[in-house]
Amino acid sequence: MAEFTLELNDDQKQVRDWLHGFAADVIRPAASEWDEREETPWPVIQEAAKVGIYSLDFYAQQFFDPTGLGIPMAMEELFWGDAGIALSIVGTGLAAVGVLANGTEEQIGTWIPRMYGDASDVKVAAFCSSEPDAGSDVASMRTRAVYDEAKDEWVLNGTKTWATNGGIANVHVVVAVVDPQLGSKGHASFIVPPATPGLSQGQKFKKHGIRASHTAEVVLEDVRIPGHCLLGGKEKLDERLARARERAKSGGERVKNAAMATFEASRPAVGAMAVGTARAAYEVALDYAKTRSQFGRPIIDNQGVAFQLADMRTQIDAARLLVWRASWMASAGKPFTAAEGSMSKLYASETAKSVTAQAVQILGGNGFTREYPVERMHRDAAIYTIFEGTSEIQRLVIARTLSGMPIR
């Protein structure tokens, strides 16, 4: 087990600097254009694939970094460049995490490479969990998966929403209900292979922020997939459902569902994304405050501005420390006994909203225009307190973990 440290090693620093260079030279110059176009930035994803950033190998190397800091370090640098484009580059990772969290070794080896494609033929993947009536309330999920034993096929019906890369993905990972009597414990995850009949894109959303990232509904109408596309396999599912039924009868311990296993693993990474956006806005505001003069002096000479910047930097560093702690704990196999993963996502998300808002304020009228990037950063930051568990849900998770009580 790697010892916890606040100092990146030489290899990590080299990767960090490489990612920062890509973010500065490729992502940032394209950010405004793709935000305005509200389209997937395929040319930028292609460039990321060419240099090896958008690839299974790169994410595997960062994921298996023994310190746990590979993924959060990568997320911070890419999202420092631009949140919308970065989410288009890393959005496939959520589907990949879904397979890693719930799949067999064979499924991991088969499907994750197909999510990325290669530099000459880039692909993306989508993780489909939320529904029109079931976002935070996963127990209300209605998408059904019914097993056709005669054909060894699963039949999926329902509508998913807020799916990053939904409908344009090569591979969709879909969470569905297999036993409605068990509520959220009766869920399972499925791979929907490319060009499967019955899967279509529904509404594409026009969003407030992260507009370079494709977000849409995914409609499933009698989608038939082979039995081996059930993540984890039928035998493991049957065993898990049997245990859940027994626990339900006896009032025993709760069982985590497939979607929650994915979100729990990814929360510190989302926190790192928020840190990257916050840091970017802070740096713009700091440079502006040092060069913008009013009443014959730089505005940073005013305590009102200087103290804001001091608070912004303090919040960013605190958020990063929470993210790094949770990431190290996860890598070291330490349980989140105080919901440390949710803590990191909660604090970093709220920090991104606060810091970007203060950056707009420091730039004044300029901050409110699209001529300066803090306006876009402020819009982008709003998503962090919403997706992969709202801030309210994170607080609920933390409170329940600390108290052991079913707080409602």
User: How far is the C-alpha of 189 from the C-alpha of 383, rounded, in Å?
Assistant: 25
pLDDT at residue 345, rounded to an integer: 97
Bridge-based pairing of strands 297-298 and 293-294 is antiparallel
Determine the Cα–Cα distance for residues 88 and 81; give it in Å rounded to an integer. Answer: 12
Residue ranges of the chain whose pLDDT lies below 70:
1-4, 135-139, 251-265
Which one is catalytic: 47, 217, 340, 388?
388
CA distance 374 to 40: 21
* Whether 163 contacts 204, CB under 8 Å: no
pLDDT tens-digit map of 308-322 = 999 999 999 999 999
pLDDT at 133: 82
Residues in the chain: 408
Q: Is the pTM of this model over 0.75?
A: yes
The pLDDT, as a whole number, for residue 249 is 76
pLDDT of residue 183: 85
Tell me what pLDDT residue 101 has.
Answer: 86
Q: What is the pLDDT of residues 120-164, one digit of tens each?
A: 999 999 999 999 987 666 667 999 999 999 999 999 999 999 999
Confidence (pLDDT) at 247: 81
C-alpha dihedral sign at 364, 367, 369, 371: positive
Are the beta carbons of 203 and 217 closer than 8 angstroms? Answer: yes
* The pLDDT value given to residue 255: 47
Q: Is 106 a catalytic residue?
A: no
